[in-house]
Amino acid sequence: MHSTPQNVTDYPNNNTYFLVWNFKEQIPIEKIKSCFQRICALVINLNNSGLDRFPDSKASCVMGIGYEAWLKLDLPKPLPKELKPFEPVMGDKHIAVATKGDLHFHIRSDQKSLAYDMSSVISDTMKVIGDCVVEVQGFRYWDSRSILGFVDGTENPHGTDRDYFSVINEQDLDYRGGSYLFVQKYVHNLNAWKLLSVEEQEKVIGRSKEHDIEMDDDVKPQNSHIALANIGDDFKVVRDNMPFGNVATNEMGTYFICYTSTFSTVEKMLTNMFVGDPPGNYDRILDFSTAKTGTLFFVPSLDMLADFSG
């Protein structure tokens, strides 16, 4: 059984690289497969080396594989039960867009130099067969806040619940130890956001800004982010969101990333946010945050990754 997961339950780190790569069309498939084998071995090596050399750095590299890449690489069939092309979620006003991604790398370390080196080694290998279509350098902002100023990830599960909600077990016995990975790059309209009073911002989020306390149900707006994005204690995901951006150009945002044992949980969350519950009652945060990407990947277990490495 392929049961040992990649580092999907690690807690958010101080420095993170998010990389999305697409295979080049003109590269022969055998060359892509050969390079993919080296990449799988490299991911395993980087994790082991980081743990041995810098045990306190909390370094890790997690690789996810997209639907089209899974087919192109002729990986095991049947596919993971919920691995498919992500389809846009269309609301009356906002859209959760769908974008192509063959491989996703989630690289973390408390040491910025180590995160950079790991990303550089991955990129040096990947550029032979692929193009990097997303590169986001995330950073920890104060006490795990987004650039909007509110704590991000308060509803994350802890302890053994992190494994329960993020790692496949009984849901798909052929892929035990794996996870579904969904990512979106959001860009915030900070100029519009800053025009709101703190009280108005709190109504958009559904929590107090200073102390991160959730509003009572009889006060919390039905279109607040908390009311729509959190779909119940039985339907959670492990988030590792990070802020990113360029101050001079004012392009600041949040890289939304979650690991889950069932992608249907994410689909329900996105429907609530973009379509609304009931329809039309969409997540008010979307008036200030635009999804620029949206891609589903599958994260194989470490055992399966070792098999892929040849």
Averaged pLDDT of the chain = 96
170 versus 239: the higher-pLDDT residue is: 239
Q: What is the mean pLDDT of residues 273-279?
A: 97
**Residue 2 — pLDDT band, cuts 50, 70, 90?**
low
Q: Render pLDDT for 184-205 as a digit per residue (tens, 0 to 9).
A: 999 999 999 999 999 999 999 9
Q: What is the DSSP letter of 151?
A: B
> Does residue 12 surpass a pLDDT of 90?
no
Q: What is the mean pLDDT of residues 21-40?
A: 97
pLDDT of residue 197: 98
Q: What is the mean pLDDT of residues 44-57?
A: 91
**List of long-range contacts for 91-94, beta carbons under 8 Å, 24+ apart:** 91/274, 91/275, 91/276, 91/282, 91/286, 92/275, 92/276, 92/279, 92/280, 92/282, 93/282, 93/286, 94/274, 94/282, 94/286, 94/290, 94/291
Max Cα–Cα distance, the chain, nearest Å: 60
DSSP-assigned beta bridge partners for residue 187: 253, 290
> pTM score, two decimals?
0.97
Contact 134, 101 (CB under 8 A): yes
pLDDT of residue 232: 87
The catalytic site residues sit at: 152
Q: What is the mean pLDDT of residues 10-29?
A: 95
What is the rounded radius of gyration, in angstroms, for the C-alpha atoms of the chain? Answer: 19
